[in-house]
């Protein structure tokens, strides 16, 4: 019987869909709210799951803070079981140029961090303990790892939201920096929620390299071909995974009793590890949080 709800952003495809699939299969007490930009694609995804009667599709566009604000009401009005988990999974990587959200915020920062920040902040009042918040990050946030991606460059949240003239116009750099923001946000949220003392735990998750996932949808044709047909051969290497494998590991952070009470931790797959040096900078995390509040509230004013 459904007794609790998990919200999963970007659940109509890739990692989010596999997380939903696993959660539904492993524990029949869960109802999954698929928070997706395109409800039609969400409905198609639900049709391919084994328990469509335990799924609800709700529209959410993380590139629109008005959509994010409306989501809380939609969830409340949907008549679902109590909310016990939020999985911040959806993400974008704008390869070239500068694209803005509906609110005039740089798209990668706006979707990967600010939209999820506003979503979780807006849902805290609906979370019922014991509850878990899981934020999907990436190993690319850590300069100590060899990923082939630029090292993140955190200046300030305001400059990430509104890049000044002359700022690096590198989509991959913006992506890795947004992934650092994900970890900073997860740790700061955990601290502000009492580090699990009030029954809400927060973890960050690195799914590893997932060749064939939708992250390369804006790549040039040759790179897109390699991503879908050549890179999957690398799955024999550490932390190179299929979306199904990573989805199972992500779902475990939502439902598995092994993680009861585990909070303020960063997981690479199924193993808790240290995240980057910068991710533990509490002053940086506070600056990101306070600026994110201002950015979100300026739009809603």
State both tokens at 251: 């779902």
Give the model confidence (pLDDT) of 143-168 as tens digits. Answer: 999 888 999 999 999 999 999 988 88
What share of the chain has pLDDT > 70, as a percent?
A: 88
Choose, from 175, 187, 219, 280, the residue flagged as catalytic: 175
pLDDT per position as a tens digit, 86-117? 999 999 999 888 999 999 999 999 999 999 99
Which pLDDT band holds residue 255 (cuts at 50, 70, 90)? very high
Question: What string of DSSP letters covers 9-22?
Answer: ETTTSHHHHHHHHH
Average pLDDT value for the chain: 91
Q: Which residues contact 140 (CB under 8 A, 6 or more apart)?
A: 147, 149, 152, 175, 176, 179
Higher pLDDT, 14 or 224: 14
Peptide bond into 130 cis (omega under 30): yes
- List domains and CATH numbers for the chain: 4-300 (3.40.50.720)
From CA 205, how far away is CA 289, in angstroms rounded? 19
Q: Is 134 helix (H, G, I), strand (E, B) or coil?
A: strand
Average pLDDT of span 161-181: 94
Q: Is the pLDDT of residue 224 over 90?
A: no
- Tell me if residue 175 is catalytic: yes
pLDDT over threshold 60, residue 230? no
For the segment 133-142, what is each residue's pLDDT rounded down to a tens digit? 999 999 999 9
Task: Identify the weakest region by mean pLDDT among 158-172, 217-231, 234-248.
Answer: 217-231
pLDDT band (50, 70, 90) for residue 228: very low
Tokens of 29: 């007490």
d(CA 296, CA 180): 19
Both tokens of 142, joined, read 């850590």
What is the SS3 assignment for 149?
coil
Please report how many Cα atoms fall inside a 13 Å half-sphere around the Cα of residue 291, on the Cβ side.
Answer: 22
Q: 197 Cβ partners below 8 Å, 6+ apart? A: none
Average pLDDT (188-195) is 98
Do residues 15 and 210 touch, judged by C-beta distance below 8 A? yes
- 50-64, 125-139, 186-200, 215-229: least confident range: 215-229
- Residue 244: pLDDT over 80: yes
Mean pLDDT of 187-195: 98
What's the CA gap between 197 and 112, in Å, rounded? Answer: 27
């Amino acid at each position: 019987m459904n007794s609790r709800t998990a919200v999963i952003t970007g659940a109509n495809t890739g990692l989010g869909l596999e997380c939903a699939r696993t959660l539904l299969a492993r524990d029949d007490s869960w109802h999954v709210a698929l928070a997706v930009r395109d409800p039609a694609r969400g409905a198609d995804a639900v049709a391919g799951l084994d328990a469509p009667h335990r799924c609800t599709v709700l529209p959410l566009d993380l590139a629109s803070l008005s959509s994010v604000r409306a989501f809380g009401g939609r969830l409340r009005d949907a008549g679902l079981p109590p909310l016990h988990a939020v999985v911040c999974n959806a993400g974008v990587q704008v390869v070239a140029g500068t694209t803005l959200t509906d609110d005039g915020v740089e798209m990668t920062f706006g979707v990967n961090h600010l939209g999820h920040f506003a979503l979780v902040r807006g849902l805290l009042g609906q979370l019922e303990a014991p509850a878990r918040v899981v934020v999907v990050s990436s190993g690319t946030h850590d300069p100590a790892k060899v990923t082939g991606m630029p090292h993140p460059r955190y200046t300030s949240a305001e400059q990430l939201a509104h890049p000044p003239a002359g700022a690096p116009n590198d989509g991959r750099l913006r992506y890795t920096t947004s992934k650092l923001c994900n970890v900073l946000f997860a740790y700061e949220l955990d601290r502000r929620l009492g580090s699990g003392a009030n029954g809400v735990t927060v973890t960050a998750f690195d799914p590893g390299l997932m060749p064939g996932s939708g992250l390369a949808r804006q790549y040039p044709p040759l790179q897109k071909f390699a991503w879908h047909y050549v890179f999957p051969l690398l799955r024999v290497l550490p932390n190179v995974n299929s979306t199904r494998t990573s989805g199972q590991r992500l779902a475990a952070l939502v439902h598995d009793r092994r993680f009861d009470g585990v909070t303020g931790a960063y997981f690479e797959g199924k193993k808790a590890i240290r995240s980057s040096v910068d991710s533990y900078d509490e002053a940086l995390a506070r600056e990101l949080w306070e600026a994110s509040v201002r950015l979100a509230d300026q739009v809603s004013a």
